[in-house]
């Protein structure tokens, strides 16, 4: 046998071994999602509970700094509408940036996608959520998930005074089937009194001709971020967008496959701030985080996931929440990729 034959033979053996190994690994990591239960979630929660020690509760908004860093909750809403909750499931926290996907749905429903995205981009970013990005160059926000784009999105919702906020609240109550949802006035006042950076973005966009109204529109943004929710509410939001805007109980009032694709695409590329690219690689699911400690996740066509743990990593995402999601995704092979 010549050297070339030996090389070809060895190469063939290596390829066969590689394929065999991959088949075994894939078989080991794939599990039937119908087996997800509270026991499953509880096991994952307990495994990742201590990750809060690697994060820090947001305190740039004083009221948020009062949250219990040890609080943790995990919720899943499956395709049949069945809800599984573990941890501090009754614990309320403010929705913060997760409200941006609700505002985007309303703005696009009213104004049309082309009109909304004529004023901002579809781009991802390597900058923090409150970065001015290219407001001083192109004059337009990079995307509707960063603060600048989200402030602009809310301003595009029609109605005077607090009408745009009330529309967001109404849709949140519908999606979660929870009419008790409301904003926390203390957090709202705290955000309003310290939100100078957001105020700067507002006036820079007003100067650029993107916003024509007054600061009432910015107040609506502060209010939408201050709405209190639970991990279960977030799981229901994730389910809604994962299933063509159909509610977890099957109510199809807002069914819209294109809207679902738009929202999930923005969640995937920009929903986890500057960590979004790495998150797409590790978790691989449309997700949106908030500095209140929550993350909502859409598993397209399958389920919604909601997590809560207020200690944030350096990107502003829940440290324990991320690891709970990652473990569930690995165990049930949920990544889109």
Residue 295's SS3 state is strand
Measuring CA to CA, how many Å separate 2 from each of 6, 7, 16?
6, 9, 21
DSSP symbol at 163: H
pLDDT per residue of the chain (337 residues) written in tens, 0 to 9:
555 544 444 445 444 444 444 444 443 446 788 999 999 999 999 999 999 999 999 998 899 999 999 999 999 999 989 999 999 999 999 999 999 999 999 999 999 999 999 999 999 887 778 788 777 777 899 999 999 999 999 999 999 999 999 999 999 999 999 999 999 999 999 999 999 999 999 999 999 999 988 898 999 999 999 999 999 999 999 999 999 999 999 999 999 999 999 999 999 999 999 999 999 999 999 999 999 999 999 999 999 999 999 999 999 999 999 999 999 999 999 999 9
- Phi (first) and psi of residue 93, to 5 degrees: -150, 165
Give the chain's domains with CATH numbers.
35-332 (3.40.710.10)
Residue 323 CB: number of other CB atoms within 10 A?
A: 21
Beta strand 93-94 pairing with 294-299? unpaired
- What whole-number distance in Å separates Cα of residue 12 and Cα of residue 145? 48
Residue 213 CB: number of other CB atoms within 10 A?
A: 14
Structure tokens at 120: 């901002």
CA atoms within 13 A on the CB side of 131: 15
329 marked ligand binding residue? no
Global pTM value: 0.90
pLDDT at 2: 54
- What whole-number distance in Å separates Cα of residue 31 and Cα of residue 199? 48
pLDDT at 125: 83
* Cβ atoms of residues 263 and 98 within 8 Å: no
291 marked ligand binding residue? yes
6 marked ligand binding residue? no
* Cβ atoms of residues 103 and 150 within 8 Å: yes
pLDDT at 1: 55
pLDDT at 21: 44
DSSP symbol at 330: H
* Cβ atoms of residues 332 and 33 within 8 Å: yes
| DSSP calls for 98-128 | GHHHHHHHHHHHHH-HHHHHTSS-----SS-
pLDDT at 18: 46
273 marked ligand binding residue? yes
332 marked ligand binding residue? no
* Cβ atoms of residues 102 and 271 within 8 Å: no
DSSP symbol at 136: T
198 marked ligand binding residue? yes
147 marked ligand binding residue? yes
pLDDT at 120: 95
- What whole-number distance in Å separates Cα of residue 174 and Cα of residue 130? 29
pLDDT at 137: 76
| Alpha-carbon radius of gyration of the chain | 21
90's enclosing H/E stretch is none
Q: Give the position of tokens 């740039």.
A: 60
Secondary structure of the chain: what % helix, strand, coil (to 5)?
55, 10, 35
pLDDT at 6: 44
């Amino acid at each position: 046998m010549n050297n070339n034959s030996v090389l070809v033979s060895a190469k063939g053996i290596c390829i066969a071994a590689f394929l065999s190994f991959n088949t075994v690994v894939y078989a080991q990591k794939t599990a039937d999602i119908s087996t997800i239960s509270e026991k499953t979630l509880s096991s994952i929660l307990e495994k990742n509970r201590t990750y809060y020690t690697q994060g820090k509760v947001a305190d740039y908004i004083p009221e948020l700094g009062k949250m219990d860093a040890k609080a943790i909750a995990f919720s899943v809403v499956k395709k049949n509408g069945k809800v599984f909750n573990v941890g501090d499931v009754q614990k309320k926290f403010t929705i913060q940036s997760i409200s941006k996907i609700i505002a985007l749905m309303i703005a696009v429903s009213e104004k049309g996608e082309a009109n909304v995205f004529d004023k901002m981009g579809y781009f991802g970013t390597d900058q923090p959520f409150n970065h001015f990005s290219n407001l001083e160059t192109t004059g337009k926000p990079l995307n509707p998930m960063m603060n600048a784009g989200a402030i602009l999105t809310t301003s595009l919702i029609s109605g005077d005074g607090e009408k745009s906020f009330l529309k967001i609240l109404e849709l949140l109550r519908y999606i979660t089937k929870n009419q008790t949802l409301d904003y926390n006035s203390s957090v709202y006042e705290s955000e309003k009194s310290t939100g100078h950076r957001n105020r700067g973005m507002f006036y820079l966009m007003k100067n650029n001709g993107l916003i024509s109204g007054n600061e009432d529109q910015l107040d609506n943004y502060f209010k939408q971020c201050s709405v209190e929710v639970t991990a279960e509410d977030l799981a229901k939001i994730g389910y809604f967008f994962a299933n063509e805007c159909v509610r977890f109980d099957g109510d199809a009032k807002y069914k819209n496959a294109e809207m679902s694709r738009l929202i999930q695409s923005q969640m995937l590329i920009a929903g986890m701030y500057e960590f979004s690219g790495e998150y797409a690689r590790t978790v691989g699911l449309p997700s949106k985080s908030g500095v209140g400690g929550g993350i909502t996740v859409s598993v397209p066509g399958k389920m919604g996931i909601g997590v809560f743990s207020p200690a944030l990593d350096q990107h502003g995402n829940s440290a324990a929440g991320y690891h709970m999601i990652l473990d569930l995704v690995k165990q049930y092979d949920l990544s889109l990729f």
